[in-house]
Structure 1
Amino acid sequence: MKKVLYAVTLGCALIVSISAQAANKIAVVNVVDIFQQLPEFVTVTQTLENEFRDRTNTLQSMERELKTQIQHLQRDRLTMKESEQLRMEKDILQQREEFNTKARIFEQDNRRRQIEERNKILHKIQNAVQKVANLQGYDLVIDQSAIAYCTKSKDITADVLKQVK
């Protein structure tokens, strides 16, 4: 009986020590904070703005022209001939459709490029997290946004940021 009790006690002690040891190998990282502090974040933002600047200006110009024509139609509607009014309404509808199509394509292209660039940066951060985790002996690294609380001693954000830069 003493041997069984001794074995159970030893087993419980091993389980507690293994779980305590596993808890020491968990770290936390704030990916959003790293992402925003990287110089590449600003560079990518500026690059994308430059890449889409011409299309943005074209869309803004189309929008201003469309608003001007709508205001002209509303202001002069009572003094216009019916045929001229119908022609102008048809032109406005056609321009609005063209604007909406170009705006939708622009948004899709812009969103696709932002996702591509964001994924490049996130991949770089992921590699840095893995490197820091391997160097410091962590088995598990969790994003800070996924947990409610963690001590500062488990936060490896600064180490990952140094590795990425």
Structure 2
Amino acid sequence: MKHIFKITLLIMVFIVPFNNAYCCPKIVVMNIAKIFNAIPQKEKIAKKLEQELHADFLVIEKMKKSFLSKIKKLKNKKLSKKAKEEIQKEIIYEKKILLQKIEYFTQKNNQRQEQARNKILFFISKLINIIAEKGHYNLVLDVSTIAYIKNVKDITNDVIDLAIQQDNILFI
């Protein structure tokens, strides 16, 4: 048992300090929120997403105008009681359909925005890995997770510059 303890101690004393993970750690920070807002790919994805959802939005707007015009028509005092009842039924039906369309549009919009956000974050992660490997950094931290740090390199602008260089990459 003493021999195992001595061997383990020798390994820890002589081998562990020479491991690259423990030798000369290079720590850098970056601001993921700043990167997310600054990269040009975000604007391209936002425009593409807007184009994708524009047709659904126009349908909802058209239905909303029709709904509001029927409400305005209902306020006309010259209408007969039967005509008012007919318009009220149409309003109730259109309101139900309009609410369903709005709910579907909202869900679809949220889902697509989340997918786009995840793809952007994945792309940013790839950029950070490229910068970290190029600079031989062992640890990259987001500034939002740090309470205090002194004399550490910030690679935020390096990541943004790399994203600008790869501006033609559209990944959605």
Higher alpha-carbon deviation: 78-87 or 44-53: 78-87
* Counterparts in 2 of 1:98 and 1:134: CA distance versus 1, 3 Å: same
2:135, 2:40 → 1: CA distance? 25
8 Å contact kept, 1:27–1:154: yes
8 Å contact kept, 1:63–1:99: yes
Q: How many residue pairs get matched?
A: 145
What is the RMSD computed on CA atoms of the aligned residues? 2.4
Which secondary structure state, in structure 1, belongs to the residue aligned with residue 123 of structure 2?
Answer: helix
* Counterparts in 2 of 1:142 and 1:153: CA distance versus 1, 3 Å: closer
Structure 1 position 105, deviation (Å):
0.9
| Structure 2 counterpart of 1:141 | 140
Flag structure 2 segments of 5+ consecutive residues without an equivalent: 1-12, 14-22, 165-172
Letter in structure 1 aligned against 2:66: E
Structure 1 position 71, deviation (Å):
1.7
The 5 Å alignment of 1:3-42 reads: 25-42=26-43
Letter in structure 2 aligned against 1:40: Q
> Among the aligned pairs, what percent are the same residue?
29
2:145, 2:54 → 1: CA distance? 36
8 Å contact kept, 2:132–2:140: yes
2:151, 2:119 → 1: CA distance? 28
More helix by share: 1
Flag structure 1 segments of 5+ consecutive residues without an equivalent: 1-10, 12-20
User: What TM-score results when the alignment is normalised by the length of structure 2?
Assistant: 0.73
Moved over 6 A (4+): none
8 Å contact kept, 1:28–1:150: no
8 Å contact kept, 1:29–1:155: yes
User: What TM-score results when the alignment is normalised by the length of structure 1?
Assistant: 0.76
Higher alpha-carbon deviation: 153-162 or 121-130: 153-162
1:152, 1:48 → 2: CA distance? 41
Structure 1 position 56, deviation (Å):
1.0
